[in-house]
Amino acid sequence: MKVLLSIKPEYARKILSGEKKFEFRKVGFNDSSVSTVIIYATKPIGKLVGEFEILRILIDSPSKIWERTKRHAGIDRHFFDSYYHGKEQAVAIAVGEVKQYAEPKCLSELGVGTTPPQSFRYIKSDEFARYKQRELEV
């Protein structure tokens, strides 16, 4: 299964360039079959810009997650600490193989509406298959 993640443009660029090897979240996915993240770069871009394979998902206290990820976090400690302030758990999605789209795509092309998820949205296999088929027809 795939998941659509809303990611700020600066962090989406860092993921696509290979500089950022972890995407941080406050909650994990309930579905353990999620294997791919589709990146929606939030405004001002507002488009699907690429995807990446999930190598693994780390869940632990914020301090332990920082120690395990800081070399490739793509963010500084101050931002990390403010993001997880008051939280007992942190989630780090390890970025695997990255595919940047040749042209950014509108969210509507994915067939899941035009409103981006606040955090994430599961994309079922059949939804993604329809998207890929439309891509081939163009």
User: Residues with Cβ < 8 Å from 48, sequence gap 6 or more?
Assistant: 4, 38, 39, 40, 41, 101, 104, 105, 106, 107, 109, 110
| Strands 36-41 and 2-7, sheet pairing | parallel
Q: Say whether pTM exceeds 0.85.
A: yes
Compute the distance between CA of residue 59 and CA of residue 43 in angstroms, rounded to an integer: 28
Residue numbers of the chain with a pLDDT score lower than 70: 125-138
Q: What is the mean pLDDT of the chain?
A: 91
pLDDT of residue 16: 99
- What pLDDT score was predicted for residue 136? 43
The Cα 87–Cα 119 span in angstroms is 17
The tens digit of pLDDT for each residue in 13-34 reads: 999 999 999 999 999 999 999 9
Q: Which two tokens stand for residue 133?
A: 């088929």
Amino acid letter, 117:
P
Task: Give the per-residue pLDDT at 138.
Answer: 46
**Looking at residue 111, what is its pLDDT?**
79
Domains of the chain (ranges plus CATH)? Answer: 2-129 (2.30.130.30)
